Amino acid sequence: MLGAMMQFPLTITPILERMEKLFGAVEIVSRLPDKSIHRSNYGDLCRRARAFAAALAAAGMKRGDRVATLMWNHAWHLEAYFGAPVAGCVAHTLNPRLNPDELAYIINHAGDRLLLVDDVMLPVYERVRDSAMLERVIVVPTTGRPVPPEYQPYAEFLQEGSSGYALPQLGEDEAAAMCYTSGTTGAPKGVLYSHRAIVLHSFCLSLPDCACLSQADCILPIVPMFHVNAWGCPFAAGMAGAKQVFPGPHLDAISLLDLFEQEKVTRSAGVPTIWMGLLDALDRHPGRWKLEAGLRVLSGGAALPEHLIRGFDRHGIEVRQAWGMTEMTPLGTVCHVKSSLSERPAPERLAIRAKQGLPAPFVEVRAVVGQREVPWDGETPGELQVRGPWIAASYYNLPGEQERWTADGWLLTGDIATIDPEGYVKIADRAKDLIKSGGEWISSVDLENALMGHPAVREAAVIAIPHRKWGERPLAAVVLKDGYEANAEDLRSHLAQRFSRWQLPDAVVFVEEIPRTSVGKFRKSKLREMFAGWEWDQTADGAA
Ligand code: AMP
């Protein structure tokens, strides 16, 4: 027997309508490039998002047409997040940190017709102007300086829509947004998010055991709006009616902490690098910021070192680790200690919190070796595979790229993980970053996290270097904190408290910085290039 419920499409339009009917006065705060603060509210957002939708229609943008954005996190970007999808268009966020060739490739591959660009990002656009096939470029002034005459100002574009424009009725499976993977291997690949995926993801992200968003919260997404839709925070916050605060281009720790204090932020989301900077600033300036009691932040994008969890606990901030991917809208797992484990000794609870966490509702996980799922014993690693309603079923317009999906419809994540009997997922490595020494696997992530727990270490990345006898051996590239000293032996002794001798890096090399990807992760491919000619025999006994 079928249930007797209405068919009601899960689209972004009812979120927009809800925001305008219920939360018009809730604030949206944006920090501008000159550091001044711009204040608006959901009422303004919805009016302007509707005007943007009407202007897109007047400009001839049809259902499914891509509207690209090249913008920082701020209120105008949010207008595009809502305005383009409710018009039936696809909001395609572009990453300004990509090189011009990649950016032009992505714009052309996506078939973007119209670009909305911050005035401060015009130099990024101008580097691709000749190679990117865009029909129209509209400039959002964020500096107060006049828009160069060859471009149309955003305010003028907003005037072009008809006042009688009515939002179209959309199907929930229509595309709403698009993002290309950061493409550490091969060409970047586009992921097309449906309205339904974004709506369901918003419900899930808001749950108490995920980002825990209520109307009374104030969220500051540090993760860029061009990185998987700021992990879905703006949509989830809009549905909840929570105050949103955007940092613009100012992502240094002091600016962020000032904004946290001033706007009474209760929720945030960002990558571990950002949190490392914040923790360092909090430690260096005790008592300088009065942060909200109950401040809770999500850390994702890369493994969260244990010392960061401990450090944030010290400052009364709860950090929760989440794991996901561009292909997953992005939420996959979030970590919290289950009530049945809350009596475990403190070190055990800390070890649990350092895992990537429990699968979110409707996200199914399995770890696989060959064709077989490995047991959930917390020890046997396998490639993590996932499926669920907000997980991509294919890439955009790349029919030959189906090898990332199994025949029975699971996405191969490329991450190697264990799953313990309680269901906690622990990512050991990207498949290509695992180190195989003498036939045994060594997790570079575990070594990195332990190294970053040493008081003198700011950052550490570990890579495999070919070795004649052992196949591969680990090399650690380490950045020391300003004013601290440590030598290779100090760090190896520190690691020896937790790791067997054969797992220790044979070489510890001190560097000025670790190369990073455009979204702030360690770029290990670059490190491997830097150490391509490394000769073990000169430096190490190879005595793993
Ligand atoms: P992206 O699509 O750029 O967001 O990258 C997704 C990849 O980032 C995942 O496949 C993981 O390798 C990595 N990643 C994301 N979150 C975490 C995490 N919490 N711990 C470890 N790796 C992570």
For residue 542, what pLDDT is reported?
Answer: 45
Q: How far is CA 102 from CA 177, 182, 229, 518, 525, in A?
A: 19, 10, 19, 12, 17
Three-state DSSP class for 273?
A: helix
Q: What angle do CA 219, 320, 72 make, to 5 degrees?
A: 40
For residue 103, what pLDDT is reported?
Answer: 96
Instruction: Write out the catalytic residue numbers.
Output: 181, 327, 436, 441
DSSP string covering 398-458: -TT-GGGB-TTSPEEEEEEEEE-TT--EEEEEEGGG-EEETTEEE-HHHHHHHHTTSTTEE
Pocket mutation for ligand 1, best pick of 191, 427, 516 (most atoms within 8 Å of C-beta): 427
Task: Name the amino acid, one letter, at 361.
Answer: P
Instruction: List, in order, residues 6 or more apart from 139 with CB less than 8 Å away.
Output: 117, 118, 119, 122, 147, 148, 151, 152, 153, 154
Per-residue pLDDT of 258-285, as tens digits, reads 999 999 999 999 999 899 999 999 999 9
CB 71 within 8 A of CB 77: yes
For residue 536, what pLDDT is reported?
Answer: 78
Pocket mutation for ligand 1, best pick of 363, 412, 415 (most atoms within 8 Å of C-beta): 415
Element (H, E) at 203: helix 195-206
Distance CA 34, CA 335 (A): 37
- Token pair 């060859």 is found at 150
Per-residue pLDDT of 130-158, as tens digits, reads 999 999 999 999 998 999 999 999 999 99
Residues of the chain with pLDDT under 50: 538-544
Q: In the chain, which segments carry CATH 3.30.300.30?
A: 434-530
Q: Whose CA is nearest to atom 3 of ligand 1?
A: 182
Query: Comparing C-alpha atoms, which of 67, 69, 58 is closest to residue 85?
Result: 67
Pick the CATH number of 434-530 from 1.10.1060.10, 3.30.200.20, 3.30.300.30, 3.40.50.970: 3.30.300.30
Three-state DSSP class for 470?
A: coil
Distance CA 319, CA 431 (A): 26
Q: Residue 457 phi/psi, 5° resolution?
A: -100, 125
Pocket mutation for ligand 1, best pick of 189, 323, 358, 462 (most atoms within 8 Å of C-beta): 323
Count of CB atoms within 10 A of residue 426's CB? Answer: 27
Distance CA 318, CA 335 (A): 11
Domain 8-199 indexed as CATH 3.40.50.12780: yes
Calculate the CA dihedral of residues 102, 174, 84, 70 and round it to 10 degrees: -10
Q: In the chain, which segments carry CATH 3.40.50.12780?
A: 8-199
Q: Are strands 457-467 and 440-442 parallel, antiparallel or unpaired?
A: unpaired
> Does ligand 1 have an atom closer than 6 angstroms to the CB of 10?
no
- DSSP annotation of 343 reads T
Query: Comparing C-alpha atoms, which of 229, 306, 205, 292 is closest to residue 69?
Result: 229
Per-residue pLDDT of 168-194, as tens digits, reads 999 999 999 999 986 555 688 999 999
Instruction: Give the rounded percent of residues in the chain with a pLDDT score beyond 70.
Output: 98
Question: Global pTM?
Answer: 0.91
For residue 184, what pLDDT is reported?
Answer: 54
The alpha carbon of 324 and the centre of ligand 1 are apart by a number of angstroms equal to: 6
Q: Which residues of 11-38 are buried (b: 16+ CB within 10 A; e: fewer)?
A: bbbebbebbbeebeebbbbbbbbeeeee
Q: Whose CA is nearest to atom 4 of ligand 1?
A: 325
CB 161 within 8 A of CB 57: yes
> Does ligand 1 have an atom closer than 6 angstroms to the CB of 151?
no
For residue 543, what pLDDT is reported?
Answer: 42
CB 297 within 8 A of CB 320: yes
Per-residue pLDDT of 192-223, as tens digits, reads 999 999 999 999 999 999 999 999 999 999 99
> Does ligand 1 have an atom closer than 6 angstroms to the CB of 386?
no
Find out whether the peptide bond into 330 is cis, omega within 30 degrees of 0.
Answer: yes
